[in-house]
Amino acid sequence: MKLLSIITLAAATLASATPIELKYGNESINRPLIHMTPSYGWMNDPNGLWYDAKEKLWHYYFQYNPNDSVWGLPLYWGHATSKNLTTWDQQDAAIAPLKNDSGAYSGSIVVDVNNTSGFFDNATDPRQRAVAIWTYNTPDSETQYISYSTDGGYTFINYDGNPALSNNSTQFRDPKVIWHEESQKWIMTVAKSQEFKIAIYSSPNLKNWTHESDFTKEGLLGFQYECPGLSKFSAPQSDNATYPTNSTDSTKWALFISINPGSPQGGSSTEYFIGDFNGTHFVPDFPYTSILDLGRDFYALQNFYNSPDGEVYGIGWASNWMYSNYVPTDPWRSSTSLVRKFSLEEFQANPESKLLNIKSTPVIDYDTLNFGETFSYENETFDTNNSLSYDLSKNFDGLIEFNLTYTVNGSAFGKSDFADLSLYLIGDSNSDEYLRLGFEGNAAAFFIDRGNTDVEFVKENPFFTTRMSVNNQPSRYIDSEISQYKVYGIADRNILELYFNDGSQVSTNTYFFTGGNFITEVDLEVGVDGVYQIEEFKVRQMTLKL
Ligand SMILES: *[C@@H]1O[C@H](CO)[C@@H](O)[C@H](O)[C@H]1NC(C)=O
Ligand SMILES: *[C@@H]1O[C@H](CO)[C@@H](O)[C@H](O)[C@H]1NC(C)=O
Ligand SMILES: *[C@@H]1O[C@H](CO)[C@@H](O)[C@H](O)[C@H]1NC(C)=O
Ligand SMILES: *[C@@H]1O[C@H](CO)[C@@H](O)[C@H](O)[C@H]1NC(C)=O
Ligand SMILES: *[C@@H]1O[C@H](CO)[C@@H](O)[C@H](O)[C@H]1NC(C)=O
Ligand SMILES: *[C@@H]1O[C@H](CO)[C@@H](O)[C@H](O)[C@H]1NC(C)=O
Ligand SMILES: *[C@@H]1O[C@H](CO)[C@@H](O)[C@H](O)[C@H]1NC(C)=O
Ligand SMILES: *[C@@H]1O[C@H](CO)[C@@H](O)[C@H](O)[C@H]1NC(C)=O
Ligand SMILES: *[C@@H]1O[C@H](CO)[C@@H](O)[C@H](O)[C@H]1NC(C)=O
Ligand SMILES: *[C@@H]1O[C@H](CO)[C@@H](O)[C@H](O)[C@H]1NC(C)=O
Ligand SMILES: *[C@@H]1O[C@H](CO)[C@@H](O)[C@H](O)[C@H]1NC(C)=O
Ligand SMILES: CC(=O)N[C@H]1CO[C@H](CO)[C@@H](O)[C@@H]1O
């Protein structure tokens, strides 16, 4: 969660400059199909992500104001479940604050299979012994509470020894607990937000916590640290890495931290460090930090506890504290990102350096979808006389994806040429509303323009920047002049996720068109001849199976 006074101040300032319009009429039909949204009310950070191995069910909880579609107290843990990680069933709120001036703030869930806590008897299947560790926020303090569930994660009982952990602080939050197999202990990472500390605690039983170390003042600080998390990865083995590597290490750890405000993209975002964790200390391997998602709408990442294949899956909140309370959706605000699978991979940052990097892969169960029209185009030099326009207006419902692989000839344009490859994703009933995406050779960057719309919020809100870019590395250097690039994109009514080079870089951004003006036309154009070769361009409409 966040510092209330800062957000309140920002809200008051903006409110006087731009009256807040709460009735959005037709814009309310732009609810994403495969990005979870609450049916009513406000949502922010993902909480308590866990997998129930008995029911084969994924649980997702979230910071939730059920009484209004803006952030406000009392704040609950909302709840949704999914069998397929693509569409979600909303459940009743799972954890409530004790008082109306307070909040059940962010936290996590573990499965206490061995009943280390003693909360369970044999009536609860070991695979469903869910224990939530969360921050209780009151006007006077933030302390860590624990609650347990005997019904598979739908309702929770507060531990009578709460708070389990306090620090005489109003800025002590977002506990993420994991089981550390090697030391046979529970490990909590928790933010001492405004001291820029991620405190690491250990516990044998989830009730008694021992302070082990602090990871402090590393990477991008922003205004405060929030939502930490440690995840274990298989390390790629490399003979010729240009980053320091312990070739004998088969595992590496990543520490995720979200910062708000003050991220390089403006507002809030999630960074991570790669290193080793020995049960007490996290030590990063490199002095650099990386931003997990380079867009404007990805924050407070949390990873699932207990994924069935042992891989790392996570969800971000797909908004930005700079404007989240104003976005034109009604009667709810905010969606999640798609579920992402994370892995540790080498990343060719430039011709001379490889870095270790977290790769993101979107998790989409295509069995939940029907495919509408598909178009594809291959293996042609693409010049100014080649403009391409696909009409995808049959069977559309605002969900569209594309794969684009292209090469760029760096010797074919001058320093003052705008050597772009532009992709236009155009609205059905009003073609003045469109997204323009693309690459430009001199900038060596991918651009995103979400500003071409009639929606007042986009025009008026000074923090909702409409033009962004991602410094884009090639997926392959073909020769000294020619490089290959890949991008996968998915647009779901009001959210666009872009995965570059099989997910080595990602950018997630919301966009807003007039209600129902879904994308049904896709155009491709270039600015200069002889620069671009399209290896593959495929685009298709998708709809939900009922
Ligand atoms: C909403 O959209 C429908 C169909 O596009 C249109 O007929 C109607 O007038 C719109 N209503 C408002 C309030 O804009
Ligand atoms: C996907 O999971 C959701 C939530 O559990 C469920 O409502 C939906 O029916 C599932 N869809 C398919 C096609 O399995
Ligand atoms: C449960 O106990 C087994 C056997 O001692 C141990 O290997 C495992 O790490 C424990 N797991 C948890 C989550 O407590
Ligand atoms: C619970 O299950 C364990 C393992 O099966 C068994 O040893 C124990 O007696 C059971 N306890 C009760 C109260 O049934
Ligand atoms: C708790 O923090 C407050 C404010 O920083 C301080 O005045 C007080 O002495 C602290 N109390 C304890 C018991 O440390
Ligand atoms: C754990 O904390 C409880 C409550 O404070 C206390 O009664 C108990 O002795 C502690 N146990 C250990 C092993 O420290
Ligand atoms: C590592 O570099 C050496 C010397 O440049 C080269 O012979 C070898 O093939 C490289 N190994 C890999 C896996 O790229
Ligand atoms: C990993 O390698 C670095 C140097 O590259 C070294 O400082 C560190 O101690 C090594 N860590 C382990 C666990 O071997
Ligand atoms: C873990 O690493 C820290 C920092 O390198 C070191 O001080 C500590 O002794 C290590 N602990 C264990 C249990 O290896
Ligand atoms: C396009 O080029 C790729 C790679 O060179 C090749 O695998 C594919 O068969 C080609 N497709 C067509 C339709 O020529
Ligand atoms: C895009 O690529 C992904 C990953 O290879 C694949 O799953 C998806 O079906 C592709 N979609 C289209 C429209 O080509
Ligand atoms: C203050 C207030 O309106 N509280 C309500 C918020 O929503 C919850 C869940 O629906 C109600 O139980 C509260 O009464």
Ligand 8 centroid to Cα of residue 246, in Å, is: 6
Q: What are phi and psi of 501, to 5 degrees?
A: 50, 55
Residues 456-476, mean pLDDT to the nearest whole number: 96
Q: Which of 94, 43, 95, 91 is nearest to 67 (CA)?
A: 43
Ligand 7 pocket check for 240: Cβ under 6 Å: yes
The predicted pLDDT at position 4 comes to 35
Residue 3 belongs to some domain of the structure: no
- Residue where a domain terminates, one of 362, 392, 423: 362
Residues 418-436, mean pLDDT to the nearest whole number: 98
What are the structure tokens assigned to 483, written together? 């490089």
Ligand 6 pocket check for 208: Cβ under 6 Å: yes
Ligand 5 centroid to Cα of residue 168, in Å, is: 6
Residue 4 belongs to some domain of the structure: no
Catalytic one among 45, 52, 174, 293? 45
The predicted pLDDT at position 244 comes to 64
Ligand nearest to the CA of 166: 5
Residues 396-425, mean pLDDT to the nearest whole number: 97
Ligand nearest to the CA of 306: 3
Asked if the model's pLDDT at residue 383 lies above 60, the reply is yes
Residue 20 belongs to some domain of the structure: no
Closest-CA residue, ligand 10 atom 10, reads 379
Confidence band for 5, pLDDT divided at 50, 70 and 90: very low
Ligand 5 centroid to Cα of residue 176, in Å, is: 25
Positive or negative, the CA dihedral 31, 35, 41, 45 is negative
- Average pLDDT over the chain reads 93
Residues 414-422, mean pLDDT to the nearest whole number: 98
Confidence band for 239, pLDDT divided at 50, 70 and 90: low
435-461 pLDDT, tens per residue? 999 999 999 999 999 999 999 999 999
The predicted pLDDT at position 380 comes to 82
378 and 349 housed in the same domain: no
Asked if the model's pLDDT at residue 1 lies above 70, the reply is no
218 and 266 housed in the same domain: yes
Ligand 4 centroid to Cα of residue 122, in Å, is: 6
Closest-CA residue, ligand 8 atom 5, reads 244
Residues 396-408, mean pLDDT to the nearest whole number: 97
For the chain, give the percent of residues with pLDDT over 90. Answer: 88
242 and 334 housed in the same domain: yes
307-318 pLDDT, tens per residue? 999 999 999 999
Q: What are phi and psi of 157, to 5 degrees?
A: -110, 130
Asked if the model's pLDDT at residue 22 lies above 50, the reply is no
Stated as kind and residue range, the H or E segment containing 456 is helix 456-460
The CATH number assigned to the domain holding 429 equals: 2.60.120.560
Q: Taking CB atoms and a 6 Å cutoff, what residues make up the pocket around ligand 2? A: 81-84, 87-89, 367-368, 545
387 and 527 housed in the same domain: yes
d(CA 546, CA 542): 12
Q: Which of 446, 251, 245, 269 is nearest to 343 (CA)?
A: 251
Residues 500-519, mean pLDDT to the nearest whole number: 96
- The structural domain count of the chain equals 2
d(CA 495, CA 328): 13
113 and 134 housed in the same domain: yes
The predicted pLDDT at position 250 comes to 82
Ligand 9 centroid to Cα of residue 231, in Å, is: 18
d(CA 391, CA 513): 18
Positive or negative, the CA dihedral 263, 268, 274, 279 is positive
148 and 208 housed in the same domain: yes
Please tell me the number of Cα atoms within 13 Å of 355 on its side-chain side: 15
Mutate to test the pocket of ligand 3, among 182, 184, 203, 205 (most ligand atoms within 8 A of CB): 184
Closest-CA residue, ligand 6 atom 6, reads 208
Asked if the model's pLDDT at residue 18 lies above 60, the reply is no
Q: Residue 283 CB: number of other CB atoms within 10 A?
A: 13
Asked if the model's pLDDT at residue 355 lies above 90, the reply is no
182 and 304 housed in the same domain: yes
323 and 397 housed in the same domain: no
Residue 29 belongs to some domain of the structure: no
Asked if the model's pLDDT at residue 64 lies above 70, the reply is yes
Closest-CA residue, ligand 11 atom 10, reads 403
Residues 109-120, mean pLDDT to the nearest whole number: 98
Q: Residue 477 CB: number of other CB atoms within 10 A?
A: 14
Q: Please give the DSSP secondary-structure letter assigned to residue 165.
A: B
Residue 12 belongs to some domain of the structure: no
Ordered DSSP codes for 73-108 = SSBEEEEEEESSSSS-EEEEEEE--SSTT-EEEEEE
The predicted pLDDT at position 248 comes to 61
Residue 521 belongs to some domain of the structure: yes
Q: Cα–Cα distances in Å, from 496 out to 167, 338, 425, 464, 488?
A: 40, 10, 11, 15, 11
Domain range for 407: 370-544
Asked if the model's pLDDT at residue 8 lies above 80, the reply is no
- 3-class DSSP state for residue 503? helix
Closest-CA residue, ligand 8 atom 11, reads 246
Closest-CA residue, ligand 6 atom 14, reads 208
341 and 440 housed in the same domain: no
- Residue where a domain terminates, one of 362, 378, 400: 362
Stated as kind and residue range, the H or E segment containing 8 is helix 4-17
Residue 10 belongs to some domain of the structure: no
Contact present, 319 and 44 (Cβ < 8 Å):
yes
Buried b (16+ CB within 10 A) or exposed e, 357-395: bbbbbbebeeebbeebbebebeeeebeeeeebebebeee
Ligand nearest to the CA of 122: 4
> 493: buried, middle or exposed (CB in 10 Å: 19+, 13-18, 0-12)?
buried
Residue 15 belongs to some domain of the structure: no
Asked if the model's pLDDT at residue 20 lies above 50, the reply is no
The predicted pLDDT at position 10 comes to 30
E strand spans, 160-224: 173-180, 185-192, 197-203, 210-216
Asked if the model's pLDDT at residue 405 lies above 90, the reply is yes
- Residue where a domain terminates, one of 336, 362, 388: 362
CA-only gyration radius of the chain, Å: 23
88 and 211 housed in the same domain: yes
Q: Which of 290, 241, 317, 308 is nearest to 71 (CA)?
A: 317
Residues 40-62, mean pLDDT to the nearest whole number: 98
181 and 114 housed in the same domain: yes
Cβ contacts of 189 within 8 Å, gap of 6 or more: 175, 176, 198, 199, 200, 228, 229, 230, 255
45 classed as catalytic: yes
Ligand nearest to the CA of 59: 2
430 and 284 housed in the same domain: no
For the chain, give the percent of residues with pLDDT over 70. Answer: 93
- Determine the atom of ligand 10 nearest the C-alpha atom of 536: 1
Ligand 12 centroid to Cα of residue 102, in Å, is: 12
Confidence band for 245, pLDDT divided at 50, 70 and 90: low
Asked if the model's pLDDT at residue 25 lies above 80, the reply is no
The CATH number assigned to the domain holding 96 equals: 2.115.10.20
The predicted pLDDT at position 16 comes to 31
208-228 pLDDT, tens per residue? 999 999 999 999 999 999 999
- Determine the atom of ligand 7 nearest the C-alpha atom of 240: 1
Residue whose tokens read 């012994």: 129
